[in-house]
Amino acid sequence: MLERKLDLLTVDLNVTTDSNGVDTISLPPLAPNNFKITSTLAEPGIDVNIQPAWELYKQMENKRTVTVAVIDTGIDATHPDLADSMWVNPGEIPGDGIDNDGNGYIDDVNGWNFLDNNNVLYSGEIDSHGTHAAGTIAASRDDGGIAGIADNHFVKIMSLKALGGENGQGTPETVMAAIRYAEANGAQICNLSFGSQGCTEEMAAMMKASNMLFIVASGNGDENQIGYNIDQDPVYPASLPYDNILTVGNLMFNGKLDRSSNYGPVSVDIAAPGTYILSTIPDKGYAFMSGTSMAAPMVTGHCSYGLLCKARVKCHRR
């Protein structure tokens, strides 16, 4: 991988001072020698080694369905790689305007939008983040697109929109409502590709008490995208110390953590590929994205395999 970065040591900045003594700094015209190129070489074997797992999986009998709740932005469920990967609420009749299963949500066929309190799970480009995560976990195979980690015949994606807007933000209330819904409707795994500097006691207690497995992104560093120790400076829910929370860092293809990936010997459990990950985006598209938000779905897909082949798996809480 080649990266092109501005080398400030080679740039003479233009500084002007106005009548009030305020400095304005601007860049001069840049030339090729103002940039430096760094390269990162891939190491053989630094990958998820999924093909042998797929071969072993084919030999397994008595597979069961696993439901993965993606608590994120919305998901474009019409994407060709995702249309057959979505969880379908068996107790709901699509489009009839009735809460058929009596769970308090009308026409919650594939999940629920907790930001707007409706069943509109997809609004366009702002739902790229969740759509990308869903594709990594369980995009369909052999259809000319990408291949998700898990088998979408048995692993189904429950779309729970708790983040939104240009910055993909949510609130503890929307996330907690999504967690309640996920557990009440049979999800076994929750993918949480987000983080915050704070966490309410109610949310921490809810996650601790849950029988679901939470796969959580460790976070992408400080304002300069330099990863830091979240044992010392916690990020939530990644830093919560519960056995049903698996926190994921971003592993580069040279076998080292990406410099933006948060870390912590206590808080961060595992690292997975998260740089330049190709997956689904809205409007039948595909795109590369990078970050621990991309690494977490890799682990979610693998964990779903464990549940597929094990009839009795339960998270033990401290």
Please confirm, yes or no, whether 258 is among the known catalytic residues.
no
Identify whether residues 164 and 247 lie together within a single domain. Answer: yes
Identify whether residues 177 and 292 lie together within a single domain. Answer: yes
pLDDT over threshold 70, residue 79: yes
Neighbours of 12 (CB within 10 A): 8
Identify whether residues 14 and 92 lie together within a single domain. Answer: no
Given the residues 72, 76, 127, 151, the one annotated as active site:
72
d(CA 195, CA 214): 13
Domain range for 60: 50-309
Identify whether residues 176 and 292 lie together within a single domain. Answer: yes
Please confirm, yes or no, whether 293 is among the known catalytic residues.
yes
What separation, in Å, do the N-terminal and C-terminal C-alpha atoms of the chain show? Answer: 42
Given the residues 128, 159, 210, 293, the one annotated as active site:
293
> Is 225 within the bounds of a domain?
yes
Identify whether residues 34 and 56 lie together within a single domain. Answer: no
Number of structural domains in the chain = 2
Identify whether residues 30 and 83 lie together within a single domain. Answer: no
Q: Are 150 and 305 in contact (CB under 8 A)?
A: yes
Identify whether residues 23 and 127 lie together within a single domain. Answer: no
User: How much is the average pLDDT of 70-99?
Assistant: 97
Identify whether residues 103 and 126 lie together within a single domain. Answer: yes
Identify whether residues 60 and 25 lie together within a single domain. Answer: no
pTM of this structure: 0.86
- Helix locations, the chain, DSSP H: 50-58, 128-138, 172-184, 201-209, 292-309
pLDDT in tens, 36-71: 556 677 788 888 888 888 888 888 888 889 999 999
CATH number reported for the structural domain that contains residue 140 in this entry: 3.40.50.200
Please confirm, yes or no, whether 153 is among the known catalytic residues.
no
Bridge partners of 229? 263
> Is 315 within the bounds of a domain?
no
Identify whether residues 161 and 191 lie together within a single domain. Answer: yes
Given the residues 79, 129, 132, 302, the one annotated as active site:
129
Identify whether residues 54 and 35 lie together within a single domain. Answer: no
Identify whether residues 16 and 70 lie together within a single domain. Answer: no
> Is 92 within the bounds of a domain?
yes
316: confidence class by pLDDT, cuts 50, 70, 90: very low
> Is 131 within the bounds of a domain?
yes
